[in-house]
Amino acid sequence: MDRARGTSDPAEGEVSGVGAHGMMFGMTQPPVPPSQNPYDGQTPGPRTNIRPGRPEHTMQLPTPPPSYQPSPPPAPPAPPAPRRSGLGAGVLAGALVIGGLAGVGGAVGYEKLAGSDDTTVKTADGGTIDTSQLNPLDIVSVNSVAKAVLPSVVKITAALDNGTGGTGSGSILTEDGEILTNNHVIEIADTEGATLTVSFNDGTNAEAELIGRDPATDLALIKVKDKSDLPPIQIGDSDATEVGQAVVAVGSPYGLEATVTAGIVSALHRPLVLPLESDPNQASVYGAIQTDAPINPGNSGGALVNMAGQQIGVNSVIQLARGADGGTGDSGNVGIGYAIPISDAMPIIKQLRASETPTHARLGVAGEDAEFSPLVSGGAEITEVEEGSPAADAGIEAGDVITSIGDVHVGSWYGLLAAIYSFRPDESADVVLIRDGEEQTVNVTFGSDAE
């Protein structure tokens, strides 16, 4: 995973904080002319003994691959081809349906299906599709979702007085201007002399101030000055998100504000543990929503929404293609992006709004990836349990291999860290583990890293 932070100074052209696993994190786009390429990658050394906001966790991050060096923004796309059936035409033109009827070959209105007793739709080749089990939201057009969501998504520019900085995205939470974004988008704003500027969908701009940020979950809250009657985005329930459902990503990739892309949810609970640019001994931790909706530099902090126009994720990270030598290459979007689940984000935002230090669930263990065995194809092997910790109280022991927490599968040590962060302090969950070749279940009540 490559993690790149843009800078607006093409003379320095620095990309800092390259992480692990072929992923780019910190997708701020430098506000420079398209003819210049500010990305001259810089790769830091290996990350060791990283403690992601919880002193009991120790992990070894692999040596990062070569840094990401994207090309300048591409030329404007050619005019779209004539309308044709299939998902590709539907998501590009916004004229065809997306989801269960994406291949029908024509636009089918929500009202027609929702208000009709006819449970079949004819396809272009004369066949039929049974719609009786279809969720009507899956056939809402991308166009209608975009119209509803675009006014609630903004472009954010964070800059120092010397001109360095970058751009990202955010979503409006309140009428008086609270905006949700990524920590890595606005981190530079927590510096003396820095400025934050928000650009709205109607073409107006406004200054903003930093309310608070949480590097451990890569979340931040800013507020626009002297604004009212702004259109807040609807907040959805990411816990109800399902693999395969249609989603729309909205943001400002490469500084191109009010950009809309569409796709599906590819997977859930993808464990991301990424070292911070500002402090390699700390990391952002979350179990991400994976999507194939195109996400690019500058989309960070923007909204991933369902077909009801509700935000279910905060776009944050993209996967990079690997070259023949195992390094990353500038191949553009490869259809693998990640978003922070909104249901995990909102408790953190609530604490930031109240000027509190964000807290995170704590288990009290150290560990590593479990070795493959006939009994275990993946999991987190516990190497140490802190005395008096939630893990100790639950009866977890060194040598146990944890394979799930609640309904979240744990396939690795990183998977365990991300699963823990999906819970809140004082919440309880069943932990499935293997001890001495036998599967057991214990119940744990998580502590807090504030303790």
Whether 448 is a known active-site residue: answer no
Cα separation, 23 vs 4, whole angstroms: 9
Cα separation, 88 vs 97, whole angstroms: 10
Give yes or no for a contact between 233 and 149, defined as CB atoms under 8 angstroms apart.
yes
Q: Residue 424 corresponds to which tokens in the numbers above?
A: 């809140």
Q: Which residues in 215-294 belong to E strands, given as ranges?
A: 219-224, 234-235, 246-251, 259-275, 283-291
Alpha helices of 32-121 — where are they, by DSSP H? 87-93, 110-114
Catalytic residue among 21, 67, 138, 184: 184
Give yes or no for a contact between 354 and 243, defined as CB atoms under 8 angstroms apart.
no
Nearest alpha carbon to residue 308 among 227, 234, 204, 412? 234
What is the longest distance spanned by two Cα atoms in the chain? 68
Cα separation, 140 vs 83, whole angstroms: 18
Catalytic residue among 218, 292, 344, 449: 218
Q: Which residues of 162-198 are buried (b: 16+ CB within 10 A; e: fewer)?
A: eebbbbbbbbbbeeebbbbbbbbbbbbbeeeebebbb
Q: DSSP 3-state assignment of 246?
A: strand
Cα separation, 58 vs 70, whole angstroms: 33
Query: The tokens 């107006």 sit on which residue?
Result: 204
Look at strands 337-341 and 246-251 and give their pairing: unpaired
Cα separation, 301 vs 182, whole angstroms: 5
Whether 184 is a known active-site residue: answer yes
Catalytic residue among 171, 266, 300, 422: 300
Give the H or E element holding residue 308.
none
Burial (Cβ within 10 Å: 0-12, 13-18, ≥19) of residue 451: exposed
Cα separation, 429 vs 355, whole angstroms: 29
Give yes or no for a contact between 153 and 201, defined as CB atoms under 8 angstroms apart.
yes
Residues belonging to the active site: 184, 218, 300
